[in-house]
A and B are shown apart, each in its own frame.
Chain A
């Protein structure tokens, strides 16, 4: 998909997004100065460990951060060259949410209302966002389920969520998200709660529907394997910041940040058989404490004293940026 011509205006342009949570234990800077953009039809992966701010980034864009305790402290999220999703009214936001930007959640077991039939839940976005009769909406929903590989959709749509398995529910969630033919799909770890065989099916389905509809996809995951097979570009996040951003191929073969390198080293499949599995020592930092320099210093095997100076995400090659001071200076080759 990298063959697509670059379009001047990005579909979604996020600039300097900062989201914090005001908790009893202090201010947790969950997302700190994150910028990225995604073009029409592109697939962007956001990867990072738990608590790195991947999900909060997505939730912030869609205005799903509970406020309080959350607060979006600054930044912009320009959608389709016009609307700033972070500043517009909830009325304007509701016109975009579910219609032009759809989201699928991590856990298909809890993201469907247990008290409503699949049918009722699936047609809800259609009834809200489009002038459509109930019968037509149901027909669209049945078609959507069929496209998701659910057989006998016309009768299964009358079921309750508990009558579906996890994989089936995630199919329903995707069908529901895509029913309004959105321009952008945000998938927040869509396969984490599923077993491996179903994971592959779900990703395949998302990919197929993406090609059909020409939509952009933001895929949040902590699985580098999924990223490599699925995404055009990747943002690696650590402690609320993007530490490396590159095309998928470059990220894997011309890695420019020690954290990305460490993540790759901890994939069992890439290591020789019998070798002890590499793990990154230490714990992710406590985000309620201000970190002066690079947040990865305590766990980084290449850290030097100067790494405690503030560092920004900068281009180190064309279309490849890194937030490692030593890489930026050119004194570290990974």
Chain B
């Protein structure tokens, strides 16, 4: 029966598609950088981050700090000195947008990372172990979900000092819930996939199965959700600040600036347009990056 052992022609034809041996991460990197939109996203985010740190430092040296007032000037349209104009207190909008970006980007990154770590671990454990453990863990999530966010934040602020760190904790504590649910659902369906059963049948231990076989397979949806979390988190921060519980004047964030700008948009539209544009640009770039990451991490999508 030797001739039946020969691989058939169709199988041989796909031989040319064999990739060179590299790790999943290197492959993903390669694919990510081939995606023009994703690269655009990375570049824009990088420029924004630089502007908010280095750029703000330069502006400050030039005498344009975010809290420096010029009451005599008042609100003025964009000009050679104040590129993006000034607000009613004569503060430079450019340096306020850059300063606000520091807080907004930081909240976005730190709170999302917090929710990512807690949510993925919690969801993976609940979904993988299943049964009673799963029931208890998910009921805790349900209870936390039912807690009104505003009251939760106010309680935190009353019990502890008001600080930026508390904003991170408060937002992270809320945002991980959805992440945990998503990951749990994914893991539960993966748990009964044949390759996981095959891994058990090969004598692999649970920890190895979770780390090597389950987590890489949930990365796609997790990353997409994480990119959606960043804007949600920034908006939450704006909401907390709006309640007067978050960032305190003269410090500011994009959320606060947009809120102030919206109040005065009929007289001084630049107060709304510029912070709004900064936020929109960030969210656009994040979405492109998220899309690119998801495609890059999906080995099946690559046909090159």
Contacts and interface: CB of A to CB of B under 8 A. Distances in A.
Q: Do A and B bind each other?
A: yes
Interface of A: 62-64, 66, 68, 93-99, 102-103, 105-107, 110-117, 119, 124-125, 128-129, 149-152, 155-156, 158-160, 162-165, 167-168, 173, 176, 197-198, 200-201, 204-205
B267 interface: no
20 contacts: A64-B197, A66-B130, A66-B192, A93-B203, A110-B194, A113-B213, A116-B212, A116-B213, A149-B6, A149-B7, A151-B12, A156-B18, A158-B18, A160-B19, A163-B18, A164-B11, A167-B8, A167-B11, A198-B8, A204-B1
Contacts of B207: none
Contact of B194 (A94, A97, A105): A105
Interface in B84-137: 130-131
A204 B204 CA distance: 29
Interface in B5-54: 5-8, 10-12, 14-15, 17-21, 24
A115 to B, nearest CB: 4
A311 B129 CA distance: 40
A148 to B, nearest CB: 9
B8 to A, nearest CB: 8
A201 B200 contact: no
A93 B212 CA distance: 20
Interface in B185-213: 192-195, 197-205, 208, 212-213
Given A106-B194, A116-B212, A168-B11, A205 B202 contact: no
B195 A124 contact: no
Nearest to B217: A115
A158 B21 contact: yes
B192 A125 contact: no
Which of B10, B12, B198, B216: most chain A CB closer than 10 A? Answer: B198
A280 to B, nearest CB: 29
A309 B238 CA distance: 75
B280 interface: no
A103 B195 CA distance: 12
Contact of B203 (A106, A128, A159, A160): A128
A97 B217 contact: no
A160 B5 CA distance: 22
Contact of A115 (B24, B194, B198, B199): B24
B81 interface: no
Contacts of A113: 195, 199, 212-213, 216-217
Contacts of B14: 163-165
A125 B202 contact: yes
B204 A98 contact: yes
Given A97-B200, A119-B21, A155-B18, A165 B11 contact: yes
B201 A204 contact: no
B21 A124 contact: no
B300 interface: yes
Given A114-B300, A165-B10, A168-B7, A98 B15 contact: no
B79 interface: no
B204 A128 contact: yes
B200 A160 contact: no
Given A98-B201, A117-B21, A156-B15, 4 more contacts: A64-B200, A125-B202, A176-B202, A200-B4
A149 B5 CA distance: 5
B300 A160 contact: yes
Contacts of B10: 165
A100 to B, nearest CB: 9
Nearest to B219: A115
B299 interface: yes
Contacts of B12: 151
Nearest to B216: A115
Contacts of A124: 199, 202, 204, 212
Nearest to B21: A158
A82 to B, nearest CB: 17
A317 to B, nearest CB: 34
Contacts of B198: 103, 105, 111-112, 173
A30 B12 CA distance: 42
Nearest to B14: A163
A102 B15 contact: no
A99 B195 CA distance: 17
A102 B24 contact: no
**4 nearest CB pairs, A to B:** A98-B203, A98-B202, A149-B5, A111-B194
A94 B200 CA distance: 8
A3 B77 CA distance: 99
A173 to B, nearest CB: 8
Given A103-B198, A105-B194, A115-B299, A97 B203 contact: yes
B4 A201 contact: yes
A124 B197 CA distance: 14
Contacts of A114: 195, 217, 299-300
A102 B8 CA distance: 27
A113 B196 CA distance: 8
B7, B14, B18, B130 — most chain A CB neighbours (10 Å): B7
Contact of A159 (B8, B19, B199): B19
A128 to B, nearest CB: 6
A102 B201 contact: yes
B131 A110 contact: no
A94 B216 CA distance: 23
Contact of A94 (B8, B203, B300): B203
Contacts of B1: 204
B203 A204 contact: no
A96 B201 CA distance: 9
Nearest to B220: A115
